[in-house]
Structure 1
Amino acid sequence: MRAVAVTVAAEAAAHVRARRRELFGSDPTVEVGAVRTKSTITDPVTIADTESEDLIRRRLTQLRPGDGFLGEEGGGDAATGEFRVRWVVDPVDGTVNFLYGIPAFAVSVAAQIDGLSVAGAVVDVTTGDTYSAAAGRGATLTTADGTVTTLRCTSVTDVRLALVATGFSYDADRRAHQGRLVAELLPRVRDIRRIGAAALDLCMVAAGRLDAHYEHGLNPWDWAAGALVAAEAGASLRLPAGFGADGELAVAAAPGIADEFLTLLTEIGADAPITSRRR
């Protein structure tokens, strides 16, 4: 299943990379009909998202007939029931970055059994780097030139020295709350990054490029592959039980600061779900 995830995610990433050149070229404007919005006016989905998901679903049907499917754009099958294995897919994680040409967007593909990720891959579309993992078998980074590196989290032991990533909701109420939490957290860690693609954030924790990541309101497709990569690289995890609308907290942290970081999040009030007043 890890090999399938790598193959399918790489194929979709190649498609997304080519589509961005076709849609944009050197012009930041996009063809009419190439972009629409989802939950709010600031939450976009592009034709590349839907095409990528369609490609992934077709390939998984060929390679893993009989498995279930859950995609960000098209939904899919139930988590349990007739499907022993369910594939959880984010066809373009970091769509806003994709639109603006910021080189931080990825394709995420994971296989889950009973809601737990057992294999997955995250492909950085811009670089071609592939992060992958299988449960109990470690995590690796394979660069575009074929160099393979085993991933391990940093050895940081003091949360004051932690470089922390986070993300923000498209909902204005939630975003305001998240901003207040950042203001509380920032003086108590090394610094904060907002990269804009949760799957890549989680993989960067695995690669030691970040010490921790936390975010409210992630959906399964946001973390299914990246969280497995982080866990197999040694990270401590706290994952949501449901979907993004529940506003639950997701955390991945290097093992040397995990307990201290969770305590800090509790102290600033970040351990509770953040839901929209408009729900």
Structure 2
Amino acid sequence: MTLAADLLDIATRIARDAGALAHRRRQEGVTVAATKSAAADIVTAADREVEAYIRAELARERPGDGFFGEESGAEEGETGITWVVDPIDGTVNYAYGIPAWAVSIAAVEGPPDTASWTALAGVVFNPVTGELFRASRGGGAWLGGQRLAVSEVGPAGGLIATGFGYDPATHAPALEQLSRVMPIARDVRRIGAASLDLASVAAGRMDAYYERGTHPWDHAAGALLVAEAGGTLGGAPGGRPGRGMVIAAGAEFFPVLEAVLDY
């Protein structure tokens, strides 16, 4: 078994168990523990509990690896492998009972820095639907036994996913950007979980996705899904997915979308 396949097996098991824990806590009732960047940017007690569970399981399985989590920050390891984790991506959906949230776990080679790491394995698991998207470097992207492939965009335009930041100051520029996207779009979807948006692009359910202001744990696993499904990724800084922009689409539609974003 290759290293990437081994890491994927570990990520898959832990994502399933962590998702089951998060789902139980949701059924018991959500407690908002804090806010982060803005009043709307919440952290639930389950976010913290689930991340702690994932971190402990990874430390047991691979004690020398690094860890980069949404709730507990970054810590470099000794093996060159770093786990990038969003325990509950789509926390607002989770809090409201909207069934569009996921556990996202990626294993990357290199430090906790999107500009320099190489993703080796990634899992995005929606416990409500039971769908687990997984990918390993060179091993393809999969949903169950189905190998995933990005879509081709027809003359009606692309079905495009996006998101908006929590900071109210970003809303007007985001809406202006959206106005430039609409002429090339069949329609637009705003699901509220970047990992699921990227998984949807990999699965051909969405033709493209773009968003400004995401964090590494939002897109680490999903970006590998898109890449292994034959898609093209870009953004900023440095032409890679990052805080400045994440873009994911099929090879033909990618430059069309990138051109109108003007980021």
**Is TM-score (shorter-chain normalized) higher than 0.5?**
yes
Deviation at 1:255, TM superposition (A): 2.0
Once residues 81 and 243 of structure 2 are traced to their aligned partners in structure 1, the CA distance between those partners, rounded to angstroms, is 26
Q: Which residue is 1:164 aligned to? A: 160
Are the counterparts in 2 of residues 218 and 240 from structure 1 also a CA contact under 8 Å?
no
Equivalent positions of 1:48-197 (< 5 A) are: 48-78=46-76, 82-114=78-110, 115-142=117-144, 148-156=145-153, 158=155, 160-197=156-193
Does structure 2 conserve the Cα–Cα contact (< 8 Å) formed by 1:157 and 1:257? no
Rounded Cα–Cα distance in structure 2 between residues aligned with 1:247 and 1:18:
32
Q: Which of 42, 45, 51 is residue 43 of structure 2 equivalent to?
A: 45
Q: What is the aligned residue count? A: 248
Mapped pair 1:213 → 2:219: no
**How much does 1:76 deviate?**
2.3
Report the AA paired with residue 48 of structure 1. Answer: A
Q: Tell me whether 1:198 sits opposite 2:189 in the alignment.
A: no
Offset at residue 187 of structure 1 (A)? 2.9
CA deviation after TM superposition for structure 1 residue 116, in Å: 1.7
Q: 2:14 is matched with which residue?
A: 8
- Runs of 4+ in structure 1 deviating by more than 4 angstroms, as ranges, are 239-242
1:240 shift after superposition:
4.2
| 2:207 maps to amino acid | D
CA distance in 2 between counterparts of 1:62 and 1:232 reads 28
User: Once the 2 structures are TM-superposed, how far is the Cα of residue 232 of structure 1 from its aligned partner?
Assistant: 0.3
Secondary structure at 2:153 match in 1:
coil
Q: CA deviation at 1:264?
A: 2.5
Paired residue for 1:145?
Answer: none
Q: What code does the residue aligned with 2:15 have?
A: A
**Preserved CA contact (<8 Å) 1:157 1:256:** no
Could you tell me which residue of structure 2 aligns to residue 238 of structure 1?
A: 234
Corresponding position of 2:4: none
Whether contact under 8 Å (2:197, 2:209) holds in the other structure is yes
Report the Cα distance in structure 1 between the residues aligned to 2:170 and 2:181, rounded to whole angstroms: 17
Q: Percent identity?
A: 45
Deviations 1:62-104 (A, max 9, x none): 11110000000111214xx744000000000000000111110
Deviation at 1:241, TM superposition (A): 4.7
**Aligned-residue CA RMSD (Å):** 1.6
Instruction: Look up the equivalent residue of 2:195 and give its one-letter code.
Output: A
Report how far residue 117 of structure 1 moved.
1.0
Mean Cα deviation higher: 69-78 or 184-193 = 184-193
Cross-structure match for 2:26: 20
1:255 to 244, 248, 251: 251
**Partners of 2:106 and 2:68 in 1: how far apart?**
10
Per-residue deviation, 1:136: 0.8
* Partner SS for 1:165: strand
5+ residue gaps, structure 1: 24-29, 143-147, 272-279
CA contact (8 A) 1:108 1:120 kept: yes
Q: State the distance in 2 between where 1:60 and 1:181 align.
A: 40
Inter-partner Cα distance in structure 1 for 2:41 and 2:256: 33
What residue in structure 1 maps to residue 114 of structure 2? none
Instruction: Give 1:275's aligned residue.
Output: none
For residues 125 and 211 of structure 1, what CA distance do their matches in structure 2 show?
Answer: 24
Given that 2:181 and 2:257 are in contact with CA atoms closer than 8 Å, whether structure 1 keeps it comes out as: no
CA contact (8 A) 1:131 1:203 kept: yes
